[in-house]
Structure 1
Amino acid sequence: MQKNIKICWDKYKSKIKYLFFVYFIILTWLLLRKSGGENYVEVFGINLKTIYNDKIAHASAFLLLTILGFLSYINVSPIKLIFFITLYGVLIEVLQEFMHFGRTFEFFDILADFTGSVLGVVVSGFFIKKVKIKPD
């Protein structure tokens, strides 16, 4: 299985950078778009308050962004990647505050973004070691 993953990696690694940029643009749009104003989300017909769900969504979104970033820029140090992706999260929060789209600056969103970024580096590092991917 490891060999199959390595073959797949060699075949598609150039497309991961493209996917990273597309995801980055979509995530930016989602985080800066006008808020619906409702403080709940419906899952399987059940309305759930988004206080915790929002933080899980932030962490998950930044986890995926970091995984794609780490795999796209495999030569970049994990600390630099975490720094720049967290800085992106801070910038998004500042823009949310000043764009007046019904969203506000939230410190805990930044903390969730940072947490997702750290987890993304851990997951990516595990994947790279497991599959034995070497930087170009």
Structure 2
Amino acid sequence: MQKVTKALLDKKSSFLAKSIFVAYSLFLGIATLIPTSVLSSGKKSWLSNINFENGDKVVHAALFFIFSFCFYYSGWAKSKISLLLIPFILGILIECLQGLLGWGRTFDVWDILANCIGSLLAFWAIQFIFQSKHNRSTKF
């Protein structure tokens, strides 16, 4: 595990990591702000088979978990505060834009909470994986 962690840390802040973060950020913006009429084809998809109460909250948490992890790995998160604050602000901004744009999306405070939970889970995972006692000498 130590070798894998070290190999990952060696690639942190690389051009590839930054490119993945930028691409994912664009995907996140488009996926969360695109009008719902564009997303609906009228046909049932495989995703409709996975249906449970508040399933969209799990999707929100997963999207922001990935965003936070990519943000850290890109090297642009210069501190622990920025690793938490930037995703939180983005999650709130996206929900506000959904409410303001009127593209079939609505503001939902529970989505903001799900976004924050996903970011927090990523933060804790990063702390556990990359900042473990074996890697204390590594800068954030």
TM-score (norm 2): 0.79
Letter matched to residue 32 of structure 1: L
The counterpart of 1:48, out of the listed 27, 48, 51, is 51
Deviation at residue 127 of structure 1 after TM alignment: 1.6
- The answer to whether the 8 A contact 1:70-1:78 is kept is no
1:17, 1:4 → 2: CA distance?
A: 20
1:94 alignment partner, SS class: helix
- The answer to whether the 8 A contact 1:97-1:103 is kept is yes
Match of 2:34 in 1: 33
CA RMSD of aligned residues (A): 2.7
Letter matched to residue 109 of structure 2: F
Say if 1:44 and 1:94 are closer, same or farther in 2 by CA, change over 3 A: closer
Match of 2:138 in 1: 134
List per-residue Cα deviations over 1:58-93 (Å, max 9, x = no partner): 001001111111222376222332122111111111
Query: Comparing 7-16 with 61-70, which one deviates more in the overlay?
Result: 7-16
Compare the two structures and name the one with the higher strand fraction: 1
Say if 1:123 and 1:104 are closer, same or farther in 2 by CA, change over 3 A: same
Match of 1:21 in 2: 22
Gaps of 5+ in 2: none
The counterpart of 1:83, out of the listed 85, 90, 101, is 85
Identity %: 29
- The answer to whether the 8 A contact 1:35-1:101 is kept is yes
1:102 is the counterpart of 2:104: yes
Letter matched to residue 46 of structure 1: N
Aligned residues: 133
2:50, 2:5 → 1: CA distance?
A: 39
Match of 2:124 in 1: 122
Gaps of 5+ in 1: none
TM-score (norm 1): 0.81
1:52, 1:121 → 2: CA distance?
A: 23
2:11, 2:75 → 1: CA distance?
A: 16
1:48 alignment partner, SS class: coil
Match of 1:2 in 2: 2
